[in-house]
Amino acid sequence: MWMKIEEFRSIVLFDGLTDDELAQCIEPLKEHELVAGSSLAKQDDFAYKFFIVLDGDVDIHRDFEFVARLGPGEFFGETALVNHEKRNARVTTHTRCRLACMMGWEFKTMTEIFPSVAGHIDAAVTEREV
């Protein structure tokens, strides 16, 4: 495993998981480092990845309007994957960022196996829907 469990222990998404469960959740994650201004997701594109911010900040824009800035421990990309829709926002790096991401089918498996993770995801989808 390339990332340490301790790095994910404080992320609310994984609250309540044992070390073994957390290890299973983060195993498919791949780390990416990006410079400020990098494009991560484009509004109306097909969704196929889920992201967790490890370091840095990302900006969320919907219809060219600033919506939010997400930082370490926060995640994005879940709404389109859960609702089987196209991306509802554009996401770019505000600062240099280190992100963890997984493919949509890995995300689906994680949420099916771990109901507590699915609950956090569902709460985020509800909160973020327009």
Q: List Cα–Cα distances, 35 to 5, 11, 82, 124, 126, in angstroms.
A: 25, 23, 28, 26, 30
| Count of domains observed in the chain | 1
Write out pLDDT tens, residues 80-89: 999 999 999 9
Write out pLDDT tens, residues 33-45: 999 999 999 999 9
Structural domain containing residue 111? 5-128
Q: How far apart are the C-alpha atoms of 126 and 58, rounded to whole Å?
A: 20
pTM for this predicted structure: 0.93
Q: How far apart are the C-alpha atoms of 55 and 71, rounded to whole Å?
A: 7
Read off the CATH number of the domain in which 55 is found.
2.60.120.10
